[in-house]
């Protein structure tokens, strides 16, 4: 038992680091026109991993030998070796290298990522853009955790709380409550996540989150209302089979809305909204929020849903909400909608440095118009306010 506890602590440390670093690395190294798709693949990997884990556990649960627990643990080593070995072949983030004042290494890394010569004008232009943004950030913050919550002209506090709350709201959609009930839902989520990551850079982050929140809220209220009024069980037998089918159908619709919006987009936004000087710390706070809410909801769900055993030996008093718990999830999805409308900017097509400009010069509700103006005028951090557009030839390769 003690060995398992120690192992879980070490594995938890690794998972925490990966949860923070992978989306951040993807954001810093991806071309801006496909950054949403690249970072969205992180959520797809989570879903596929959960599906594979459910399949393996289901296949080994009836084994009476030590293989029942050793096999699932052993399989995890495969993915750790793939991730560790694969990262050794990838370049370091050029933004991280500039943050550490390693300009030559940053130039080589950026050249490799954009497939351009290290001495090309495009690479030099983008390095200057990143450097100027970093200099301005250093002028207003030292990069400490306290700086994450200070409302400087770059709105660090707003951006940090946006990341923390966005990850919390993602968990409060109720998705993990659904996922606790079988591999079929994991398969649906994986399929729809593939669709969702294709939409992020086409439809936009803010719009997808709003559409997803409305869709999830509608589905969960329908599940709650139908379940309470017509979908009851008597002795474990459905007395209204049609109502039961409606419940299953709208749970699947709900998963589709989540997998195409709040699943991948929450990771995309938290990976791109922080300024470079506090990006790692802001991302760590956001990921911590995700896992804390995940734990809290997982712990509380049985007390909300299961039948009360109070009065029995070792009995536990619960809320015994059963299907009525979907009224709670529907209401939290309404909260997701309100939060998105007031706190999530539209960042589609912008470089990470242009996102800094957006936060500095615009408001959340006007972010889409400001974004369009920046893209139309090819406004960059280096040329902001000078009316000097960049060479269009480098537009598609900006990361």
Domain ranges for the chain: 2-90+146-343, 110-140+350-397
At 204, is the secondary structure helix, strand, or coil? Answer: coil
Name the H helices within the chain.
2-29, 35-60, 67-87, 94-99, 103-114, 121-140, 145-148, 156-172, 175-179, 183-203, 205-229, 241-259, 262-272, 279-305, 325-343, 352-361, 367-377
Determine what percent of the chain is predicted with pLDDT higher than 90. 50
d(CA 50, CA 79): 13
Tell me the fold of 2-90+146-343: Growth Hormone; Chain: A; (1.20.1250)
Higher model confidence: residue 51 or residue 341?
Answer: 341
Contact between residue 254 and residue 216 where contact means Cβ atoms under 8 Å apart: yes
Higher model confidence: residue 130 or residue 162?
Answer: 162
* CA dihedral angle for residue 79, residue 81, residue 87, residue 89, rounded to 10 degrees: -130
d(CA 337, CA 347): 18
**pLDDT average, residue stretch 182-207:** 84
State the DSSP code for 234: E
Query: Has residue 391 got a pLDDT over 50?
Result: no
pLDDT at 58: 85
Query: Has residue 96 got a pLDDT over 50?
Result: yes
Counting every residue written for the chain, the total comes to: 399
pLDDT at 393: 39
Query: Has residue 151 got a pLDDT over 90?
Result: no
Contact between residue 257 and residue 278 where contact means Cβ atoms under 8 Å apart: no
By C-alpha distance, which of 306, 324, 305, 308 is closest to 316? 308
d(CA 290, CA 299): 14
Q: Which residue is associated with the tokens 């954009």? A: 114
Higher model confidence: residue 289 or residue 323?
Answer: 289
- Give per-residue pLDDT as tens, 233-290: 555 555 677 888 888 899 989 999 999 999 999 999 999 999 988 999 999 999 999 9
pLDDT at 184: 61
pLDDT band at 387, cuts 50/70/90? very low
pLDDT at 248: 86
Model-level pTM?
Answer: 0.88
């Amino acid at each position: 038992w003690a060995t398992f506890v120690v192992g879980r602590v070490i594995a938890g440390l690794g998972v925490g680091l990966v949860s923070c670093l992978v989306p951040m690395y993807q954001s810093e190294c991806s071309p801006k026109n496909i950054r949403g798709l690249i970072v969205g693949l992180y959520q797809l990997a989570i879903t596929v991993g959960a599906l594979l884990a459910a399949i393996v556990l289901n296949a080994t649960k009836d084994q009476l030998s030590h293989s029942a627990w050793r096999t699932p643990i052993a399989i995890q080593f495969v993915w750790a070796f793939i991730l560790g070995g694969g990262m050794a072949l990838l370049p370091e983030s050029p933004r991280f290298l500039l943050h550490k004042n390693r300009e030559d290494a940053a130039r080589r890394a950026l050249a490799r990522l954009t497939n351009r010569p290290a001495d090309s004008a495009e690479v030099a232009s983008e390095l200057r853009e990143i450097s100027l943004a970093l200099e301005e950030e250093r002028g207003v913050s030292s990069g400490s955790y306290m700086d994450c919550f200070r409302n400087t002209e770059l709105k660090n506090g707003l951006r940090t709380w946006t990341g923390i709350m966005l990850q919390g709201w993602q968990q409060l959609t109720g998705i993990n409550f659904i996922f606790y009930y079988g591999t079929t839902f994991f398969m649906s989520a994986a399929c729809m996540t593939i669709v969702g990551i294709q939409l992020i850079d086409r439809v936009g982050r803010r719009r997808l989150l709003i559409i997803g929140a409305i869709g999830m809220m509608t589905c969960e209220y329908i599940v709650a209302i139908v379940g309470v009024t017509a979908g009851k069980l008597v002795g474990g037998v459905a007395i209204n089979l049609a109502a039961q089918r409606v419940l299953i159908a709208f749970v699947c619709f709900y998963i589709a809305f989540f997998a195409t919006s709040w699943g991948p987009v929450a990771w995309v936004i938290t990976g791109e909204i922080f300024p470079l000087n506090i990006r790692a710390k802001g991302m760590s706070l956001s990921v911590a929020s995700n896992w804390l809410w995940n734990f809290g909801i997982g712990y509380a769900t049985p007390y909300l849903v299961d039948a009360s055993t109070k009065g029995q030996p070792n009995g536990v008093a619960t809320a015994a909400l059963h299907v009525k718990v979907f009224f709670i999830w529907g209401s939290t999805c309404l909260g997701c909608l309100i939060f998105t409308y007031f706190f999530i900017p539209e960042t589609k097509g912008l470089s990470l440095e242009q996102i800094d400009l957006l936060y500095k010069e615009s408001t959340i509700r006007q972010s889409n118009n400001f974004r369009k103006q920046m893209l139309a005028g090819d406004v960059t951090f280096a040329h902001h306010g000078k009316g000097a557009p960049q060479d269009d030839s480098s537009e598609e390769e900006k990361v």
